[in-house]
């Protein structure tokens, strides 16, 4: 199982990586077969790169390069296939200088983050071929989630099913996959080998978690999540049945919820920075919990030398915030700067004094503070080639509790799909790890203090928002489960709070449409899988 981290669009680089992995699998692991992830030549999702006129020639040259390597191992390679004026999501089995067979994916997902029907046509025929005397059936990703393709290969006499995937991570996804594979294996009476992509691609993170399941639905081999590598599966005949050799079973320890989410954030940040060629990251460190968690993730992803933290105090910034930001920066040993914004703010206000004459001081002045900070961070980004990490969590992004071109200014929002209540859980989890034994990486006072943007005297988040436990519960029902206002009220939430929260979500779509990309952790993040109109007359109700 080649659980590889590939780069979308880098067909030459990906091809070289496949060839190197195949050589290693043959020479070091004595493998007969190596299975790569779905669309491994382009990586996933290639999106509208699939529409480029040069794609066909590039894929043909990549496949020929693999054949020219003349490797004595069966390589299951995913790739786009142009055929008869149509485009297919396909795989080919290559051995030596021969293409033994090609399979076209039958079930094309077109929901949430997937839009394969925009690009691909559906195949209709099963694929079973003999390798080393074993009849091997082949399918691609979504084919596993519907019954038909598995039934087809079983009826065609397959003794083993290999399913190649580019299945993105979301919370509890491993459990969903294990339950599905158990059902399919028992139904077909076949062992199933499930090979998945690993790595970050824009907002998506692929967790790997490749596995092999016995005909009885028992996971016998489980590769670690969020780790690249080659993971062997040994199969043998037991009478007339092919099964996984028990003595070679290798089960990686599954992560708890907090560990899996944190690892996804780390991988998402690392790959976004490295694959896009940034020299490092810069973020505003406020002394609050969101920026504290973002800083810790960034250090774990990139190392302390690639992280710059900037405190930008104003008149309303408390001494506690200054102290906590300095403490955490020192604890993590990152570069740390203090850039006061009072003079910048005063310059803006002075310039606008005639325009604002006779008008009261209100949220506009608060937003100027946030925008001063955004200008400074973006200037550092331009000058030093650093990616600005924004620090808004999902709860804030949902209801618009953030300033466009202010604290939203940046290139990547680490916590974009992390509700505020989960922010606290992730901080507690990270502080419980062995490397924090000498003292918390995130100061306890940061976790325990009342959240505040500190844009006005004595301001705290709960002045303007419901308690975060209530807010996050309402948001999960509305954003992730598509419940109506009436449905949510029927579950016991106050009607006034529900209607206010849902209205805030709806009217702030324009902000989210302009927000930085961020790691997707749930089944409905603010990005590819939630597409609502900015201009809308939709009324809240049933």
Model confidence at 511: pLDDT above 90: yes
Alpha helix segments (H runs only) across 130-195 = 147-155, 173-188
pLDDT tens digits along 289-298? 999 999 999 9
| Confidence grade of residue 247 (pLDDT, cut at 50, 70, 90) | confident
Kindly state whether residues 289 and 387 are assigned to the same domain.
yes
Q: What is the mean pLDDT of residues 258-263?
A: 97
Per-residue confidence (pLDDT) for residue 112, from 0 to 100 = 85
Per-residue confidence (pLDDT) for residue 430, from 0 to 100 = 97
Kindly state whether residues 288 and 243 are assigned to the same domain.
no
Per-residue confidence (pLDDT) for residue 245, from 0 to 100 = 82
Rounded distance, CA 519 to CA 513, Å? 15
Model confidence at 198: pLDDT above 90: yes
In a domain, 29, yes or no: yes
For residues 30 and 49, is the Cβ–Cβ distance under 8 A?
no
CATH code (residue 245):
3.60.110.10
Report the 10 Å Cβ neighbour count for 497: 17
Kindly state whether residues 234 and 303 are assigned to the same domain.
no
pLDDT tens digits along 344-382? 999 999 999 999 999 999 999 999 999 999 999 999 999
Q: What is the mean pLDDT of residues 54-69?
A: 97
In a domain, 533, yes or no: no
Q: Tell which of 223, 254, 285 closes a domain.
A: 254
Q: Residue 147: CA atoms inside 13 Å, Cβ hemisphere, count? A: 4
| Confidence grade of residue 461 (pLDDT, cut at 50, 70, 90) | low
Structural domain count, the chain: 2
| Confidence grade of residue 270 (pLDDT, cut at 50, 70, 90) | very high
Q: Is 321 left (phi over 0), alpha (psi -120 to 50) or beta?
A: alpha
Kindly state whether residues 281 and 241 are assigned to the same domain.
no
CA–centroid distance for 225 within its chain: 13
Rounded distance, CA 348 to CA 219, Å? 62
Lowest mean pLDDT among 25-29, 159-163, 186-190, 234-238: 234-238
- What is the enclosing helix (H) or strand (E) of 350? helix 342-351
DSSP classification of residue 478: I
For residues 193 and 161, is the Cβ–Cβ distance under 8 A?
yes
In a domain, 536, yes or no: no
Per-residue confidence (pLDDT) for residue 529, from 0 to 100 = 85
CATH code (residue 297):
3.40.50.620
Kindly state whether residues 328 and 409 are assigned to the same domain.
yes
Residue percentage of the chain with pLDDT more than 70 = 98
Kindly state whether residues 7 and 124 are assigned to the same domain.
yes
Q: What is the mean pLDDT of residues 210-226?
A: 95
Per-residue confidence (pLDDT) for residue 238, from 0 to 100 = 72
In a domain, 538, yes or no: no
| Confidence grade of residue 416 (pLDDT, cut at 50, 70, 90) | very high
pLDDT tens digits along 44-58? 999 999 999 999 999
In a domain, 530, yes or no: no
| Confidence grade of residue 500 (pLDDT, cut at 50, 70, 90) | very high
- Active-site residues, by number, are 38, 105, 141
In a domain, 524, yes or no: no
Q: Tell which of 254, 289, 319 closes a domain.
A: 254
In a domain, 542, yes or no: no
Per-residue confidence (pLDDT) for residue 297, from 0 to 100 = 98
Q: Residue 45: CA atoms inside 13 Å, Cβ hemisphere, count? A: 22
pTM: 0.94
For residues 207 and 170, is the Cβ–Cβ distance under 8 A?
no
Per-residue confidence (pLDDT) for residue 268, from 0 to 100 = 98
Per-residue confidence (pLDDT) for residue 459, from 0 to 100 = 66
Kindly state whether residues 249 and 298 are assigned to the same domain.
no
| Confidence grade of residue 453 (pLDDT, cut at 50, 70, 90) | low
Task: Name the strands in the sheet holding 134-140, side by side, starting at the edge strand that comes first in the sequence.
Answer: 128-131, 134-140, 160-165, 192-196, 211-213, 219-222, 250-251
Kindly report the average pLDDT of the chain as a whole number.
Answer: 94
Q: Tell which of 203, 233, 254 closes a domain.
A: 254
Lowest mean pLDDT among 17-26, 122-131, 182-191, 231-240: 231-240
More confident residue, 453 or 82: 82
Q: With 0-12 CB in 10 A as exposed, 13-18 as middle and 19+ as buried, what is 420?
A: buried
Per-residue confidence (pLDDT) for residue 141, from 0 to 100 = 96
- What domain range includes position 280? 258-513
Residue percentage of the chain with pLDDT more than 90 = 87
Kindly state whether residues 237 and 265 are assigned to the same domain.
no
DSSP classification of residue 121: B
Kindly state whether residues 373 and 449 are assigned to the same domain.
yes
Strands 86-96 and 98-104, sheet pairing: antiparallel
In a domain, 357, yes or no: yes
According to the 3-state scheme, what is the secondary structure of 48-102? HHHHCCCHHHHHHHHHHHHHHHCEEEEEEEEEEEEECCEEEEEEEEEEECEEEEE
Kindly state whether residues 37 and 81 are assigned to the same domain.
yes
Kindly state whether residues 215 and 323 are assigned to the same domain.
no
Kindly state whether residues 281 and 231 are assigned to the same domain.
no
Rounded distance, CA 4 to CA 1, Å? 9
Per-residue confidence (pLDDT) for residue 454, from 0 to 100 = 64
């Amino acid at each position: 199982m080649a659980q590889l981290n590939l780069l979308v669009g880098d067909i030459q680089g990906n091809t070289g990586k496949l060839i190197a992995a195949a050589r290693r699998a043959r020479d070091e692991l004595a493998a007969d077969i190596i299975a790569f992830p779905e669309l491994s030549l382009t990586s996933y999702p290639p999106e509208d790169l699939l529409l480029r006129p040069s794609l066909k020639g590039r894929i043909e040259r990549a496949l020929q390069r693999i054949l020219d390597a003349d490797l004595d191992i069966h390589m299951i390679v995913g790739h786009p296939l142009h055929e008869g004026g149509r485009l297919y999501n396909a795989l080919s089995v290559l051995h030596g200088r021969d293409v033994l067979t090609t399979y076209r994916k039958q079930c094309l997902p077109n929901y949430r983050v997937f839009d394969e029907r925009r690009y691909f046509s559906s195949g209709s025929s099963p694929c079973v071929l003999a390798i080393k005397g074993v009849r091997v059936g082949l399918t691609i990703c979504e084919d596993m989630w519907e019954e038909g393709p598995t039934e087809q290969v079983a009826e065609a006499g397959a003794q083993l099913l290999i399913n190649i995937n580019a299945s993105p991570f979301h919370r509890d996804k491993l459990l969903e996959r294990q339950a599905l594979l158990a059902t399919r294996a028992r139904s077909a009476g076949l062992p199933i080998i499930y090979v998945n992509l690993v790595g970050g691609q824009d907002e998506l993170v692929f967790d790997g978690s490749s596995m092999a399941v016995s005909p009885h639905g028992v996971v016998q081999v489980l590769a670690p999540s969020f780790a690249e590598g080659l993971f062997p599966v040994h199969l043998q005949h037991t009478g007339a049945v092919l099964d996984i050799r028990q003595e070679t079973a290798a089960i990686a320890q599954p992560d708890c919820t907090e560990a899996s989410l944190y690892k996804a954030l780390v991988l998402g940040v690392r790959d976004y920075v490295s694959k896009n060629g940034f020299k490092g990251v810069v973020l505003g460190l406020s002394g609050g919990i969101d920026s504290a968690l973002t800083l810790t993730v960034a250090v774990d992803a990139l190392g302390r030398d690639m992280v710059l933290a900037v405190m930008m105090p104003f008149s309303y910034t408390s001494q506690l915030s200054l102290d906590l930001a300095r403490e955490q920066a020192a604890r993590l040993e990152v570069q740390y700067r203090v850039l006061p914004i009072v003079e910048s703010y005063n310059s803006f206000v002075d310039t606008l004094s005639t325009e604002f004459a006779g008008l009261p001081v209100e949220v506009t002045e608060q937003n100027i503070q946030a925008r001063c900070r955004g200008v400074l961070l973006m200037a550092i980004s331009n000058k030093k080639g650093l990616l600005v990490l924004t620090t808004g969590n999902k709860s804030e992004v949902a209801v618009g509790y953030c300033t466009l071109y202010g604290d939203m200014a940046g290139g990547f929002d680490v916590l974009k799909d992390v509700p505020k209540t989960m922010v606290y859980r992730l901080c507690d989890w990270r502080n419980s790890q062995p490397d924090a034994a000498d003292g918390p990486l995130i100061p306890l006072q940061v976790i325990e203090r009342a959240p505040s943007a500190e844009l006005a005297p004595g301001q705290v988040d709960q002045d303007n928002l419901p308690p975060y436990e209530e807010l996050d519960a309402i948001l999960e029902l509305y954003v992730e489960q598509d419940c109506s206002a009436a449905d949510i009220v029927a579950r016991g939430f106050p009607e006034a709070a529900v209607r206010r929260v849902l209205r805030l979500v709806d009217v702030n779509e324009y902000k989210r449409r302009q927000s930085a990309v961020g790691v997707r952790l749930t089944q409905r993040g603010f990005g590819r899988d939630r597409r609502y109109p900015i201009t809308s007359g939709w009324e809240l109700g049933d």
